[in-house]
Amino acid sequence: MVVRRRGAPKPHRFTENPLLQLALPGWRSRFTGLALLLLLLALVGRSFYLQVINNEFLQDKGESRYRRDMEVPASRGKILDRNGELLAVSTPVKSIWAIPGDAKLDPGQAKALATLLEMDVKELNRRLATDKNFTYLHRQIPPDVAQRIAALKLPGIHQDQEFRRFYPAGDMVAHIVGFTGLDGKGLEGVELAFQQDLMGRSGSRSVIRDRRGQIVEDVGGMRPPQDGKDIRLSMDSKIQYLAFSAIKQAAIENKAKAGGAVVVDARTGEVLALANWPSYNPNNRASLTGPQLRNRAVTDSFEPGSTMKPFTVALSLERAKVRFDTVIDCAPGRITIGTATISDAHPHGALTVAQVLQKSSNVGTVKMALNFPPKEMWEMFDSLGFGTPPSLGFPGEVGGRLRPWKSWRPIEQATMSYGHGISVSLIQLARSYLVFARDGDLLPLSLQAQEGLPPRGVQIFSPQTVREVRTMMEMVVGPGGTAPQAHVPGYRVGGKTGTALKLEGGVYAKKYVASFVGIAPMSDPRIIVAVMLDEPSAGKHYGGDVAGPVFSKIVLGTLRNMGVAPDAPVQVAGGLNQGGQL
């Protein structure tokens, strides 16, 4: 029993100690409790919103740690010639890539990998030392090399499949077909012109990958790729080979800066061959230069010279200014207009209109041209497509130069009648001669093989005018003409030579462009062949001497390849021909 003394303080239990009594007002504790309850409700609501109502964000973030959408590349469409010969095809190859953080290679492994990739070891180590999560080591390597790399089982080194473009015909078709870049997109030629049709559409594949880049499993659906469409060109590989070989040989023999040849089907407007020299191998473009890449037949323009004279003659016949046998006085071999004098290469006296074209008289051509108002000549040139790109779809197509007729001076009208003061591309020139190979109508050119009937042409000259001009063009390759070397054994052919000085800095230099454009066979025209040699410097520079033999070689091979029967006697031993004539 505890005895408490009188006057001593009353004892308290521990929980009733005054030091533990709440010193704050009661409303504050209630407020704090309510605030904590509201925060808890907010957290619960936010959690419910993220996990139930709007959970896509967190799911996407989670999946991004392990899920990948891989591109499944589409195979680029093939490019074929008119007979189905392969000109461009995509072959499967491998790309080698690395996750630098995982690619811990010892010196021996690094050396082995660098050797297979044909890389310097220092360059390989530099790429692997990056802080990026991904880096390409080499792209488009052959499958057998990729297999040897895979056999090394190197950490952090991976492979993906892609496609590489292969061009079986090499430099022969380089300027028509063109080439693609590492990403598979067309950069030149048909590869660029028909990019949308050829490329197709890539597919996709959703997979789960571990941190080492290895595929664990497929998830979700797969969208299959849509391969590109095949393109069948109008070009014939055999005719292309003939044209390419002939222009290459001629350019080398005549020490020409460059050369080009175009073959067009007279019945359809299809381009059967388009060759340039110099050329390049599209399978190996390591040391390409600008001159090699230029598709000169399409992208370069030049003054065509006397190859324009048939059009001036045709216009004169069409407008009844002259007849086939009208005599024109070309003496003394020159004509003065203002302060300028135009001369013939060889002086002539009186010539018929047919002889003016046969002997390529500048004086006779000028006298015919000056019978027309400038507008009428300009309208003829314009209707033939001069001054306008040919719309083949080739990159860099040029329209040449055809100045507005209102600014023509008499001397300009005179010089344009024989191909000076106007510029064209070789493909334009070849197309314009369709009017002489046909019944005076002009067709559009086509790079793709046509099916069915060709498009309707635009009538430029009457059939009668065309027949008369064809007769004159046949005289050009005969005795007394300017191009006897363009003669083709067994076939009647005709055409026109061109020899023009080059403009450099606004002044004509002592450099020439030699050309010849012709038709074969004359009894039933099937092809137009246009040939150009830039700056021949081996002693000859006239179109008949330099370009004429190329025309002859291409025509002979082409007509035989097409199965066209000869339409002229062939010279045999003893001076007799198949027709029994001397």
pLDDT (tens digit, 0 to 9) for every residue of the chain, 582 residues total? 555 566 656 665 655 666 555 555 667 777 888 888 888 888 888 777 777 776 676 666 665 555 556 566 678 899 999 999 999 998 888 888 888 878 888 888 888 888 888 888 888 888 888 777 778 888 888 888 888 888 888 888 888 877 888 999 999 999 999 999 877 889 899 999 999 999 877 766 665 555 555 555 555 666 777 888 999 999 999 999 999 999 999 999 999 999 999 999 999 999 999 999 999 999 887 777 778 888 999 999 999 999 999 999 999 999 999 999 999 999 999 999 989 999 998 899 999 999 999 999 999 999 999 999 999 999 999 999 999 999 888 888 999 999 999 999 999 999 999 999 999 999 999 999 999 999 999 999 999 999 888 888 999 999 999 999 999 999 999 999 999 999 999 999 999 999 999 988 878 888 999 999 999 999 999 999 999 999 999 999 999 999 999 999 999 999 999 999 998 886 554 443 433 332
Question: CB under 8 Å to 346, separation ≥6 — which residues?
Answer: 333, 359
CB of 155 closer than 8 Å to CB of 106: no
Same domain, 281 and 155: no
Return the DSSP state at 418. T
CA pair distance 174, 277, nearest whole angstrom: 10
In a domain, 46, yes or no: no
Domain-embedded: residue 63: no
Contacts of 448 (CB under 8 A, 6+ apart): 231, 232, 233, 234
Q: What's the CA gap between 3 and 537, in Å, rounded?
A: 142
Nearest to residue 376, comparing CAs of 434, 321, 448? 321
Same structural domain, 192 and 301 = no
| DSSP for residue 347 | -
Q: In sequence order, what are the residues at sequence separation of 6 or more whose Cβ sits closer than 8 angstroms to the Cβ of residue 13?
A: none
Residues 228 and 258 in one domain: no
H or E, element range at 469? helix 463-476
Q: What is the pLDDT of residue 73?
A: 67
Q: What is the CATH number of the domain that holds 492?
A: 3.40.710.10
Task: Verify that 374 and 496 share a domain, yes or no.
Answer: yes
Last residue of a domain, one of 232, 266, 288: 232
The domain of 519 spans 237-575
Nearest CA-CA partner of 440 in 317, 558, 552:
317
Provide the residue type at 245 as one letter: S
pLDDT of res. 99? 80
Specify if 20 maps to a domain: no
Question: Is residue 151 one of the residues assigned to a domain?
Answer: yes
Could you write out the DSSP letters of every residue in 10-78? Answer: PP--GGG-GGGS--S-HHHHHHHHHHHHHHHHHHHHHHHIIIIIS-HHHHHHHHTTTEEEEEEPPPPPP
User: Which of 211, 232, 253 is the endpoint of a domain?
Assistant: 232
Is the same domain home to 331 and 413? yes
β-bridge partners, 534: 258, 513
Q: Per DSSP, what are the bridge partners of residue 264?
A: 271, 528
Cβ-contact 432, 442 below 8 angstroms: yes
| CA angle, 148 then 152 then 157, to 5° | 100
> Which residue from 343, 513, 359, 517 is spatially nearest to 430, judged by alpha carbons?
517
On whether the CB atoms of residues 528 and 510 are closer than 8 A, the answer is: no
In a domain, 26, yes or no: no
Q: Answer yes or no: do 212 and 283 share one domain.
A: no
Instruction: Pick the last residue of a domain from 232, 256, 276.
Output: 232
Residues 220, 283: one domain?
A: no
Please tell me the distance from the alpha carbon of residue 473 to that of residue 436, in angstroms, as a whole number. 10
Q: Are 232 and 176 in contact (CB under 8 A)?
A: no
DSSP 177-205: H--B-TTS-B-SHHHHHTHHHHH-B-EEE
Q: Which pair of structure tokens corresponds to residue 216?
A: 């664990």
Which long-range CB contacts under 8 A does 337-342 form with residues at least 24 apart?
337/366, 337/410, 337/411, 337/414, 338/409, 338/410, 338/411, 340/411, 342/366, 342/414, 342/415
Statement to judge: residues 285 and 166 lie in one domain: no
Question: What amino acid is encoded at 396 in this protein?
Answer: G
Task: Check residue 503 and give its pLDDT.
Answer: 83
* C-alpha dist (Å) from residue 481 to 260, 307, 331, 487, 488: 24, 14, 19, 11, 14
CA 227 to CA 221: how far, in whole Å? Answer: 19
Say how far apart CA 40 and CA 52 lie, in whole Å. Answer: 18
Q: What ranges make up the beta strands (E) of 327-431?
A: 327-329, 334-337, 340-343, 350-352, 424-425
Q: In the structure encoding, which two tokens stand for residue 147, read together?
A: 């297999």
Q: Is residue 489 located within the same domain as residue 405?
A: yes
In a domain? residue 299: yes
Number of domains in the chain: 2
| E-state strands within 320-476 | 327-329, 334-337, 340-343, 350-352, 424-425, 441-442, 458-459
Q: What is the set of active-site residues?
A: 306
One-letter amino acid identity for 313?
V
The predicted pLDDT at position 100 comes to: 81
